[in-house]
Structure 1
Amino acid sequence: MPIASLNPYLNLSGNAEKAIKLYETALGAKVEHLMRMGDVPSTDAVSSDDKNRVMHAALRIGPSVLMLSDGSPGDPRIEQSNVSVALHFTDADEATKTFDALAAGGKVTQPLIDTFWGAKFGMLTDAFGVHWMFNCESQKKG
């Protein structure tokens, strides 16, 4: 069975709408699909407080799709994760601009630096607890 694609899926805790806005601004994300809890045909099962929560969203970022959700109401979000979303850039200035935008309100765990393997590399956790890795291969001068 061939796999058609692989997409990271972020489970947030009631702040998916704010995360979408950040990713639109910082990453140039385009919302391809957005469904809210209130869109469920049997809305009796969803409280009025939860009807506006994001049930599922798909954001186009370059050639990739990032998916996210507010998760089920009452389900705790795991704060620590061993998963990071890796971003690969072809332009160092764009990598720096995007790094700074996603770092706002978050925590830089590895500043964006020139590395021994010939790339700019950095890591951060954004304001929503999502771990990001940045890599931009250095241009070869010849």
Structure 2
Amino acid sequence: MGTRLNPYIGFKDTARSAMEFYRSVFGGELNVSTFGEFGDSGPNADHVMHAQLETPSGFTLMASDTPDGMTYEPGSSITVSLSGDDADELRGYWDKLCDGGTVSTPLEKQMWGDEFGMLTDRFGIGWVVNIAGDHSQDGQAEGGGAG
């Protein structure tokens, strides 16, 4: 495997339910490890030390719970972007992420020709979805066919 970049989201006691929700949105295999599995028998034992979701589309999403004693700042420093040209797939993700969330910009055609939307999911995480429009005619004069 080459180098990759993926989001890693911190939660306060909701990492497991958030990652299970994301698995229901994107599908794939979710692996979850708790602090207790690595010897912590204290109040963090049942909390998620590391969770990783690998999806059929090649997405990787990671998360953990913030242990007691560490500062937690919910969702304010991350936005996850989904983009591409598979409109049906991206609209499906959008619809599922909206469940229990708040839409700030509806998913609709924008002035640059793409469909774009922004929302905050039920766990306070920001998401943007961009569906590439057909830019094949951008800047081309009408007519000009073979004749």
Question: TM-score under structure 2 normalisation?
Answer: 0.80
Structure 1 residue runs of 5 or longer lacking an equivalent are: none
1:4-45 superposed Cα distances (whole Å, 9 cap, x missing partner): 2222110011011111111111122421x32111111x33xx
1:76 deviation in Å? 4.2
1:58 to 52, 67, 77: 52
Moved more, 80-89 or 58-67: 80-89
Answer whether contact 2:90 2:131 (CA < 8 A) is retained. Answer: yes
Q: Which has the larger radius of gyration?
A: 2
Q: Tell me what 2:88 maps to.
A: 93
1:79-130 superposed Cα distances (whole Å, 9 cap, x missing partner): 3524311011322222222112111111111110111222111011111111
One-letter code of the match for 2:100?
G
Q: Tell me what 2:140 maps to.
A: none
Which segments of structure 1 move beyond 3 Å, counting only runs of 4 or more?
139-142
Same amino acid, percent of matched pairs: 33
Answer whether contact 1:13 1:76 (CA < 8 A) is retained. Answer: no
Mapped to 2, the partners of 1:139 and 1:28 lie a distance apart of 28
C-alpha RMSD over aligned residues: 2.1
Structure 2 residue runs of 5 or longer lacking an equivalent are: 138-147
Count residues with an aligned counterpart: 135
Q: Tell me what 2:15 maps to.
A: 16
Q: Any idea what SS the aligned residue of 1:77 has?
A: coil
Q: Tell me what 2:101 maps to.
A: 106
Mapped to 2, the partners of 1:82 and 1:38 lie a distance apart of 28
Structure-2 change in CA distance of 1:76 and 1:107 (3 Å) = farther
